[in-house]
Amino acid sequence: MKDSAPSLIDRLADRFELLLKSRIVLQELEPCVTGKLGSLIGRRAEMRVLALIDQRRQMTIAALDALRQQYPDAAHLLERRTLDKLSLRREEMEYRAPFGEGVIGLELYTALRRASPSPL
C-alpha cells in the first residue's frame, strides 16, 4: 500500500511557492496602500498598514532565506519553476485583457495563446 502523505519535496515546493507569491503580493500592495487606499483611510492608518506590510515582507524574506540556506539546490529549482509559472500567468492575463475589451479578436488571441509556452 502506497503512503499518500506528501513527500518532503512536495511540501517544500508548496511552502516555497507560497512564500514567493506572498513576497510578490506584498511588494505590489505597498503602492496600492500609498495610492488609492491611503486617501481613503487617512495618513495614520496608512502608516500602520504600511508597517504591517513591511513586517510581513521581512518575515517572508527571512523564511525564504532559511529555505535557500537549508535546501540550496531545491530552492533554486523551485524558485525558477515558480517564477516561470507566474510569468506565464501574467503573459496570459496580458493577452486576455485586450481580448476581453474587444481590442483584439478571437483569432489573434488564440494565436497568441498557442505561441506562448505551455504552463509548467
Residue-wise pLDDT tens digits, 63-94: 999 999 999 998 888 888 888 888 888 888 88
Cβ atoms within 10 Å of 77's Cβ, excluding its own: 14
Instruction: Kindly report, residue by residue over 91-103, the tens digit of the pLDDT.
Output: 888 888 888 888 8
Q: How far apart are the first and last CA of the chain?
A: 29
Residues 23 and 64 sit within 8 Å (Cβ to Cβ):
yes
Please provide the average confidence, as pLDDT, over all residues in the chain: 87
Provide the grid cell at 22: 506572498
Secondary element (H or E) of residue 12:
helix 8-32
- Looking at the chain, the whole-number percentage of residues with pLDDT higher than 70 is 94
**pTM for this model (two decimals):** 0.68
Residue 52, pLDDT > 90, answer yes
Could you tell me the maximum CA-CA distance found in the chain, to the nearest angstrom?
A: 59
